[in-house]
Structure 1
Amino acid sequence: MAASAPLAAQIAARRRAVFAACKANGLDNDARREIVRNLTGCASLSDCTMGQLSEVLNHLNRGKSGYAGRKRTTPTADRAPLLAKIDALLAELHRVTGEVHTLKYADAIAKRNGWAECVDFADSVALKHIVGALHRTLQFKLAGR
């Protein structure tokens, strides 16, 4: 999501993502409200701040069918932002498509294009290429292709 988007639009998009994650995990309204109440103390999603919505979404995405985040080596300081962006794009692909895209998906992109055998071995230039490829994939999925 663009940083230039108004905060209200970002909050609305985050709420939609929470609803989608609940649907993907098979949770009904009562279960969703209970999770929101336990994690944030808010009565509903409309009372939550952006940070609280992120906390709820992270909790829901760590379920057995959701994106569990990065599970590999600790990156160096120059590669950390690019790896974080790859993780964010994979999570967004999961949100948009409903299919879990793990780091194996990014590894396959890197290997298929000859940039590296896996994301952990890619240099910063290759990581930028992987971010670009994932961004293009996300744009195609958002366009409905």
Structure 2
Amino acid sequence: MAAPSTDTRRSMLAKVHIAKKNLGMDDDTYRAMLDNLYGVESSGKLSVKQLDDLLGHLASRGFVATKKGDAKPSKSAQNGKPIIAKIGALLTELGQREGRHVPWSYAVGILKRQSGVMRLEWATPPQLRAVVAALHARVQKLDREAQGKLLTGEGTINAGSMPF
């Protein structure tokens, strides 16, 4: 059996320290627990099997590990709900102008390019407003192009070319 990677070990150590913080353990209590259970003062001296055992012990004391995706939305994300609704409306409007469905991933792509944030829910209100501005600019550009076609006659149908 291959040895666990250092990334796995590092991840387990991080989870132990998150558990320590979530359980409200001060440093002295934490070190006393390590000394009592394993005879060490630092979790860095534990093997992967011991770290796994320690995580089980911390779980029995009330620690519940969560995945990154399980985190609650921040206050700024809740403040951004109306702005996210505006983004949805602009995506619909853009889709009507282009004659196709414009998915939410279009707005997420704008957000990624502008600020590096990977999800609309994680963005701050100013970052969301920047996405709204970009979508609004795109809708206005399409409106100007359509207006230009009407003025030049490109968008009109020639009655002589109709098949009936």
> TM class by shorter-chain length?
0.3 to 0.5
Q: Larger helix proportion, structure 1 or 2? A: 2
TM norm structure 2: 0.40
TM norm structure 1: 0.45
Max radius of gyration: which structure?
2
